Amino acid sequence: MKRKVIQYMILAIYFLSPLPIAFISLKGLNFSLAAPAFIGIVSYTWLLSELITAARPKFIEKYFSLDKFHRFHGIMAIVALALGLMHKEWASFAWGEFEFSTVFGDFAIMLFLLLTVLSVFFMTNWLGKIKIIKIVKDTVGNFFFSKYSVMKFLHNFNIVAIIALSVHVITIAYLVRGDMTLTMMYALYFTVSLSFYVYHKLIRPVLLKKNMYTITDVVNENDQIVSLTLAAENGRLFDYKAGQFIYLRVLDENYSFEEHPFSLTSAPENPHALSVSIKNSGDYTHIIQRIKAGTKVTVEGPYGGLGQPLEDIQNTDKSLVLFAGGVGITPMLGILESLRKKNAKNKTLLVWSLRNENELVYATELASFQKELPNFTFIPFYSTQNGYLDAEKTEAICESAAVPYAISEFVLCGPKGFMHTIESTLVSKNVPKQKIHFESFGL
């Protein structure tokens, strides 16, 4: 079945998930009772679905990129919370107060609100960059706010709010409505969603430890980037596509227990080891620069859709054009390594935007691509010297490398502004959006 059709099917299941409960619950109720209840049911089922999306199930993620998946998770949580608030106000206006069972619902809504506000301030990614939030953060001090690990820690308390919310709906269904079928439906939805969450938070980390990885090689590419080779203790690597990424957790008391995403720089054609390359970008990635060979880690994945463009050019005369900004080079290394191992003849262009020549690392890898890929062109672009890549410079580079727009797949990975500029330039050259593939390093 086509990817798009499956995407629409998944979205339809998500958006229609409140209907079975609504059907049972609202039968025979008049509008003034049914309307606030319907909004509450929608809010509840969508909030429960957040437990499923938080567990990033691979069978769903593979049809979307994890980046989009996380955005959806964030936006829908806010929509569901707003509906929950609307339900609370409308229900107390239309039905009066039920002393007993709203205690849990009120507590849940308050806790959700508190955690949402705190999360937004501790976020370092897209939501935290909204102008008004940025102004407050800058005024109060980014040292206190903008800590990804604090945000993740606080986020965990949402489960308490979800449990309180479930107690609220289940007690209403059982004690107020006296409806056993409805009670069971609520309990079923809760149990299914909670199982995803429990699997993700408790069972998956234990299972991952059954096939730990050992860091067998550490290469400090420069004082800001370290490359690690990882070998599976049981000798079996998982299947992945070049350009995909993993979640890495270092099993050492000096590291936080939190897992971090890193793109694979290795190619699936190498059955013996995985590799990643990590830039010092914050607390965790700072201490990882000094990690020792022999350290144990767990690896979870693969995720991400960058494997697709390589599949699309395989056994064809299509071209592949890779645009990397800074550490966004990492998935490109995996993709190029895979092409090299396959002896691919496709025309391939790598444009790597860097601040200056000192950042130009991976000399061995780049030399081997240049030597062994017959149609490979590498263009480093130094922004200190030439300014940031804009539409004109992007076009000039593509022209100098004779990029055949009509038969190329494009892969972009780097800062948001960088990817946006290149995407709009390509679109202005009539490249269809489905031929432009992204990976965003800020989830």
Ligand X SMILES: Cc1cc2nc3c(=O)[nH]c(=O)nc-3n(C[C@H](O)[C@H](O)[C@H](O)COP(=O)(O)OP(=O)(O)OC[C@H]3O[C@@H](n4cnc5c(N)ncnc54)[C@H](O)[C@@H]3O)c2cc1C
CA dist., res. 295 & res. 214, Å (int): 6
CA 288/CA 227 separation, integer angstroms? 10
State which amino acid sits at residue 217. Answer: D
Which tokens in the block code for residue 290? 């000094």
Closer residue to ligand X, CB minimum distance, 246 or 339: 246
Q: How many CB atoms lie within 10 A of CB 138?
A: 11
- The C-alpha torsion from 391 through 392 and 394 to 396, rounded to 10°, is 160
> Which of residues 43 and 277 has its CB atom nearest to ligand X in the complex?
277
Widest pairwise Cα distance in the chain: 77
- With H, G, I as helix, E, B as strand and everything else as coil, classify residue 347: coil
Angle between helices 99-122 and 148-155 (to 10 degrees): 170
CB of 103 to ligand X, least distance (A): 35
Of the two residues 169 and 264, which places its CB atom closer to ligand X in the complex? Answer: 264
- Smallest separation (angstroms) from ligand X to the CB of 67: 7
Contacts of 235 (CB under 8 A, 6+ apart): none
As measured in angstroms, the least distance from the Cβ of 226 to ligand X is: 9
Residue with CB nearest ligand X?
282
Question: Which H helix or E strand runs over 127?
Answer: none
Kindly state the smallest distance separating residue 383's Cβ from ligand X, in Å: 18
In terms of CB distance, is 345 or 420 closer to ligand X? 420
Nearest distance from C-beta of residue 98 to ligand X, angstroms: 41
Nearer to ligand X, 25 or 244 (CB): 244
Q: How far is the CB of 303 from ligand X (least distance, A)?
A: 7
**Dihedral angle sign, alpha carbons of residues 60, 336, 373, 427:** positive
Q: Which is nearer to ligand X, 142 or 181 (CB)?
A: 142
- Which spans of this chain sit near ligand X (rule: CB under 6 A)? 124-125, 148-149, 245, 258, 260-263, 276-279, 281-285, 304, 327, 330, 439, 441-443
